Structure 1
Amino acid sequence: MLPPGDPTERRRARGSASRPAGRFENLVREHESDGWDLVEETQLLRTEVVTERPRSIITRNSSPDISFDRSINPYRGCEHGCIYCYARPSHAYLGLSPGLDFETRITAKPDAAELLQRELARPSYKVAPIALGTNTDPYQPVEARLAIMPDILRVLRDWNHPVTLVTRGRTVLRDLDLWAELAARNQALIGISITTLDAALARALEPRAPTPEVRLRMIRELSRAGVPVRVMVAPVIPVLTEPEIESILTAAREAGASTASMIALRLPHEVAPLFRDWLQRHKPDMAAHVMNRVQAMRGGRDNDSRFGHRFKGEGTEAQLARQRFRLARRRLGYHEGMPALDCTRFGPPPRTGDQLSLF
């Protein structure tokens, strides 16, 4: 059971209700009533943004579960506040809570484009698609003000570097011209995640993310601009959103999505108790049923972090969900697999005074 939240904080559109300590902390702080009936002044909980100036911006990985080996995350933490977000435990490395701190204490990397330019220019660099938004959403609300992404995209465009994106942020449409330019060279693929088509459920699960209707509009506008779009039915939550697999795929296909993928709900580390607390607050009559189904897909546990299992789950119900997804994808005419992006044009942008190529 999670500790109660701070009674002096007014939370508006937040996923978590408290600040449970991260798994590395030695001390836990809880609010207790002292018995005095004094009315304390409350304050609206606002988002705080601090800057980070790292030495490098490209993160490497060797996971066998994912198709890319490098990524860029312009932000730590995410104001969307999705209660199920698998990235919440990363805030524990900063000494912050994966609960409310993850949603309200955001770290931005304003020098991301400059660092990227420097890393691409290294003679040892070997080109392969860079993935954006693999941990937290680069188009979360604060991006509308800080505008880190356009500079990143300009560097990638100038170097003819292929890029993929996972987002649910509407600010991606602000950069539509840059994405269209990259897509015209077969160097861009955008994934839009849709958890549910139920606006009320989406608001509770993802309090500051765009509504399902807006996300379908994002797919439509990106597709019209020539940007290939993958709909990501993710995460699939048993009982709550699992019945919508076919309807999400149908709506996204009608909006213009050309490929599709599905990921089962993951509850690593601190996410499991946060999600259980959310169920008790929002869906108390379904909480036990949902968690029983989750555990049926995870070998009797809340989470299974093994490679090859963490994204798919196991057991009869997980297999049936994947089969439903594959049949619907085929019936709706989605492309199988993801399009290969062009890496052959990569190279430094021309500089003033450079000799023109003969070919």
Structure 2
Amino acid sequence: MVHPPRPLKGRGAASNPEGRFETIRHHAEDDGWQHAVLDEDQPRPRTEVTEECARSVITHNDSPDIRFTQALNPYRGCEHGCIYCFARPSHSYLNLSPGLDFETKLRAKTNLAEVLRADLAKPNYIVSPINIGSNTDPYQPIEKRWRITRAALEVLAECHHPCTIVTKNALVERDLDILVPMARERLVQVFVSVNSLDNHLAAKLEPRASAPHRRIKAVRMLADAGVPVGVLVAPIIPALNDRDMEAVLEQAADAGASCAGYTVLRLPHELKALFREWLALHAPQRAAHVMSLVQQMNGGRDYDSNFATRMRGQGVFAELLRRRFELACRRHGFGRARDLRLETSRFIPLRKPSPQGELF
């Protein structure tokens, strides 16, 4: 007999399934000796950070439903542990699990600032706003020690390069000394992700992210400092957190957010099974209802990767979410998340380091 997975305090996933590229599958069997071990005696998985030397750090995107063409991700994996994170399957490329490995076995690109500087110095480089945090959160807890995101911002500020930031961690406030001068030159816009105001639910959905009320406070601090800030109600999970959409937008507007956006839950690759496992552990009575609505928004499947619908869904429930969002935005005077035009003409190309030094 195999015991079902149990919730782990401070972690989103409860298991560590193999990635889709693995050729070996592990199957646990209970031999009866584990019954004497109490749950509280079981060691909790600890966060491990491995340094990684990246050869390139700017990734390019041509997806028609994404508004930026360049992105920067200082870390692989994310300690926030959000069970719904669409980036979890990317850990399979490292021969690691999209489950617990994704939130405990992290990679830090310690040479990111150096490589970024070299990329921006290339003579054929074309300026376009760089999104920081498109895959994993640049202000996840390990950033407090590693400071790689801050190093990247310092390079971008030095050459007056525009960027956008997406985060759900109040640690972004630490870098106001860089963000405020950039904002004066229309070089930066920050988006804070808040998908619920329920602390109890957030502690299970996104266990190591800042609490919802703390993120709203971060919105206020950024706005008061003059940094353009928007709120992302993402992802919206039907029958779980969709009830909070209007309340999130109301509090964000009161805090000074100027624009808003939203996405619905996406379950690519291994994430389907991980999310179903989470529902069985944390919301068993509504699990079937949640997945029924998810499938209604995805053409009868757990996930539909169609660019035209994957961010907003399709069908009656998706249309209801769209109308609710538009009405709330109109009520609070929100613009669209893409309305702000960042300045690209101020860019000053960096020079490659030279052993001869600088003459001029």
Give the TM-score taking structure 1 as reference length.
0.94
* Letter matched to residue 140 of structure 2: Q
Partner of 1:126: 126
CA contact (8 A) 1:137 1:167 kept: yes
Partner of 1:26: 23
Q: Are residue 16 (structure 1) and residue 9 (structure 2) matched? A: no
Q: Are residue 304 (structure 1) and residue 301 (structure 2) matched? A: no
- Paired-residue identity, %: 50
Give the TM-score taking structure 2 as reference length.
0.94
Q: Are residue 55 (structure 1) and residue 52 (structure 2) matched? A: no
Query: Deviation of residue 335 (structure 1)?
Result: 2.0
Partner of 1:347: 348
* Letter matched to residue 102 of structure 1: F
CA contact (8 A) 2:120 2:350 kept: no
Per-residue Cα deviation, 1:60-115 (whole angstroms, up to 9, x for no partner): 11111111111010000000000000000000111111000001000000111110
Partner of 2:79: 79
Aligned-partner Cα distance in 2 for 1:3–1:116: 47
Partner of 1:287: 287
Partner of 2:166: 166
Partner of 2:153: 153
Alignment of 1:1-359 (within 5 A): 4-5=4-5, 11-36=8-33, 39=36, 42-336=42-336, 337-348=338-349
* Shift in CA distance, 128/354, structure 1 to aligned 2, threshold 3 Å: farther
Aligned-partner Cα distance in 1 for 2:292–2:350: 55
- Secondary structure of the 1:233 match is strand
- Secondary structure of the 1:263 match is strand
- Secondary structure of the 1:230 match is strand
* Letter matched to residue 338 of structure 1: D
Aligned-partner Cα distance in 2 for 1:4–1:47: 23
Aligned-partner Cα distance in 1 for 2:244–2:359: 55
Per-residue Cα deviation, 1:247-282 (whole angstroms, up to 9, x for no partner): 110011001100000101101111111111111101
* Shift in CA distance, 154/292, structure 1 to aligned 2, threshold 3 Å: same
Aligned-partner Cα distance in 1 for 2:34–2:269: 37
Aligned-partner Cα distance in 2 for 1:3–1:22: 21
* Letter matched to residue 254 of structure 2: E
CA contact (8 A) 1:3 1:20 kept: no
- Secondary structure of the 1:43 match is coil
Aligned-partner Cα distance in 1 for 2:267–2:358: 55
Aligned-partner Cα distance in 2 for 1:69–1:39: 54
CA contact (8 A) 1:194 1:231 kept: yes
Aligned-partner Cα distance in 2 for 1:174–1:354: 36
Aligned-partner Cα distance in 2 for 1:147–1:319: 41
* Shift in CA distance, 61/37, structure 1 to aligned 2, threshold 3 Å: closer
Aligned-partner Cα distance in 1 for 2:112–2:22: 30
* Letter matched to residue 108 of structure 2: A
- Comparing 83-92 with 147-156, greater Cα deviation is found at 147-156
Per-residue Cα deviation, 1:33-66 (whole angstroms, up to 9, x for no partner): 1123674563231000001111111011111111
CA contact (8 A) 1:12 1:45 kept: no
Query: Deviation of residue 296 (structure 1)?
Result: 0.6
Query: Deviation of residue 349 (structure 1)?
Result: 5.8
Aligned-partner Cα distance in 2 for 1:75–1:69: 19
CA contact (8 A) 1:158 1:348 kept: no
Aligned-partner Cα distance in 2 for 1:140–1:174: 13
- Secondary structure of the 2:178 match is helix
- Secondary structure of the 1:44 match is coil
Query: Deviation of residue 297 (structure 1)?
Result: 0.5
CA contact (8 A) 2:78 2:103 kept: yes
Query: Deviation of residue 4 (structure 1)?
Result: 4.4
Aligned-partner Cα distance in 1 for 2:213–2:259: 19
Aligned-partner Cα distance in 2 for 1:186–1:327: 28
Per-residue Cα deviation, 1:200-242 (whole angstroms, up to 9, x for no partner): 0010100111100100011000111111111000001101111
- Secondary structure of the 1:298 match is coil
Aligned-partner Cα distance in 2 for 1:122–1:88: 32
- Secondary structure of the 2:275 match is helix
CA contact (8 A) 2:195 2:245 kept: no
CA contact (8 A) 1:197 1:212 kept: yes
Unmatched 5+ residue regions in structure 2?
none
CA contact (8 A) 1:83 1:275 kept: yes
Aligned-partner Cα distance in 1 for 2:30–2:238: 37
Aligned-partner Cα distance in 2 for 1:13–1:353: 50
Aligned-partner Cα distance in 1 for 2:230–2:327: 17
Query: Deviation of residue 195 (structure 1)?
Result: 1.2
* Aligned-residue RMSD, C-alpha: 1.9
CA contact (8 A) 1:4 1:31 kept: no
